[in-house]
Chain A
Amino acid sequence: MHPVLTTVLQRLGLGFLTLFVVSFIIFASIELLPGDFGQAVLGQAATEETVAAFRKELGLDQPAYIRYFEWAGNVLQGDLGTSFSGRASSGVDRSRPVLDLVGPRLENTLFLAGMTAAIAVPLALFLGITTALYRNSIYDRTVNAATLTTISFPEFFVAYILILFLASLNPIFPSLANIDTSTEFWDRIYRSALPALTLTLVIVAHMMRMTRAAIINLLASPYIQMARLTGASQREVILKHALPNAWAPIATVIAFNLAYLVVGVVVVEVVFVYPGIGQLMVDSVTSRDIPVVQACALIFAITYILLNLIADVIGIITNPRLLHPK
């Protein structure tokens, strides 16, 4: 078998093993709940029967490993369990399946993340390549200083500054991104502009700096020297000679930053009251609605692990040393 294929398969295997362990950890979190949890969810007035029935529904009368496989099997079939909220002490059960809560919000979050990526990735590549091209110019220094600042700012600071200037002082964009399924596509983009812009500012900085570093790193290698000696211009050297070899680290950084987007989205959604999965998760943490928290955490963790996995695989398959072994 080709060595690259072996490495990629190994990496994939390791990735799925991680997924399995992570799903186990997220499942195990419910094990750590204090004993009187049924009482806490159903309220003080709950009778012993309702509490017992609730515990049975959670499966707390069965050993943990059986429950894990049941839970994992259900998750694989798309059944994420039932929310804790909406249950009353009288035994009336108005709770909703977690899937119904998560589904539409996941769509919104993916929309926001996709929109951010569509703006951020080309912008970061453009800035990274041009700053490498005009290294140490005023342009380079300004972009560097600006990105360094946005890196060290908390997301909500960036978000509120944008709100102050683009929504409050000059009402261009709405400060609350309330969208629903009936919102038109362009209207949706308009309303999601500020959250997407905030996320863009947060991740562009990192991606741009890594792109610039990857290219500048290559400029020291002998073959670039050779290209220079043949009389190639700076532009030609970077675009024709350096860039093709820099794609691997750049692709890795992009995938890694999209994974970071997963985390950044939580805070930004809360700032703009964007009805996404991050806000759902924070709300459920506050109300201690464990099944919803588990489902959201699982989705976040899977996205994060998969994107990191993709970054790794891209790094492996674009590495010429692995592609052409001796």
Chain B
Amino acid sequence: MTQTSQSYSAKDEATSFLAKRTAWDRAKILLKKSPNTARFGMIVIAAYVIVAVFAPWIAPYGQAEVFPVPYAPWGGDHMFGTDQIGRDILSRMIYGARNTVGIAFATTILAFLIGASLGLAAAINRSWLDQFISRSVDVLMAIPSLIFALVLLSIFGSSVINLIIIIAVLDSTRVFRLTRAVAVNVVVMDYVEAAKLRGEGLGWIMRREILPNIMPPLVAEFGLRFCFVFLTIAALSFLGVGIQPPTADWGSMVRENASLIQFAQYDLKAGLTPLLPAAAIALLTVAVNFVVDWFLHHTSGIKD
């Protein structure tokens, strides 16, 4: 008695029906369930990234190109007019996305590299190293970071590299605190112990055993940290000690065109010019906050 071809095969069913969802499928399902605020946030962030990456193709003029009429009104050749020495505001806004957001992004990544690796090392080591780093971080956090950044910038001078390093180091303290706090709970797990007994080195344990298990809070922190870094850099540039001209940057653009606001009574559009870059900063911060909110809600499983 042989079986016919119509017979049931458990193997066939297992392979045909339970095709594993790819990362793409899961992302699609996740997106479908996301609230409107998060979708709005993602669209805004995507738009900023596109503008930042393709700035030279999108912008009508160069970021440092000077035209004969300073403070030109809106419309005509220059959609948002020109600034105090006759540079096209729209082009500078577009390049500003690249400079301001790019620098803030690089700073956040550096802050995470420093903070997360020190935090993991401290959580695993738990000896003099932990004590030493934790106490140093306590002291660094006792000084308001904007003030500390001002002191350091006055010493090292304002260049983009200095700015990135100083803000990254100051912000890595918060990343360190968080990483250490969440990693300490994972370090005591049996599988980490097993890896240690297996003779794995510090680097392996950090990357392969602990990091994957503390990812969600770190990703959320990345978003929030980015907002803080972004606002700090914008504030420093606004104060004139951050990103230096002629590099287009939203913080310094607000400062340069601030006097235009006095003419809002006569020409409302001119009065709005300094608010454009400030609004660009605010919009991105709000968008990132929306996405982080949704992400935290999603990963923590808290349902209101």
Contact = CB atoms under 8 A, between A and B. Distances in A.
Residue among A148, A152, A155, A262 with most chain B CB within 10 A: A152
B152 A157 contact: no
Nearest to B274: A160
A22 B143 CA distance: 7
A149 B283 CA distance: 10
B160 to A, nearest CB: 16
Nearest to B142: A18
Interface in B122-160: 138-139, 142-148, 150-157
Q: How large is the interface on A (under 10, 10 to 19, 20 to 34, 35 or more residues)?
A: 35 or more
Interface in A136-187: 148-149, 152-157, 160-161, 163-164, 168-169, 171, 175
A247 interface: no
Contacts of A53: none
A32 interface: yes
Given A263-B144, A288-B154, A160 B258 contact: yes
B170 interface: no
Contacts of B263: 168
A221 interface: no
Given A29-B152, A263-B146, A168 B264 contact: yes
Contact of B271 (A168, A296, A304): A168
Contacts, number: 133
A157 B278 contact: yes
A157 B279 contact: yes
Contacts of B278: 154, 156-157, 160
Contacts of B235: 154-156, 267
Contacts of A288: 154-155, 157
A304 B142 contact: yes
A286 B240 contact: yes
A154 to B, nearest CB: 5
A18 B275 contact: no
Contacts of A152: 227, 282, 285-286, 289
9 contacts: A156-B235, A156-B278, A157-B279, A160-B261, A164-B275, A169-B268, A284-B154, A285-B154, A301-B147
Interface of A: 18, 21-22, 25-26, 29-30, 32-33, 148-149, 152-157, 160-161, 163-164, 168-169, 171, 175, 259, 262-263, 266-267, 270-271, 281-282, 284-286, 288-290, 293-294, 296-297, 300-301, 304-305, 308
Given A152-B286, A297-B143, 15 more contacts: A22-B139, A22-B142, A25-B143, A32-B155, A32-B156, A149-B286, A156-B254, A160-B254, A168-B263, A169-B264, A266-B146, A270-B239, A282-B241, A289-B154, A301-B142
Interface of B: 138-139, 142-148, 150-157, 227, 231, 234-235, 238-241, 254, 258, 261-265, 268, 271-272, 274-275, 278-279, 281-282, 285-286, 289
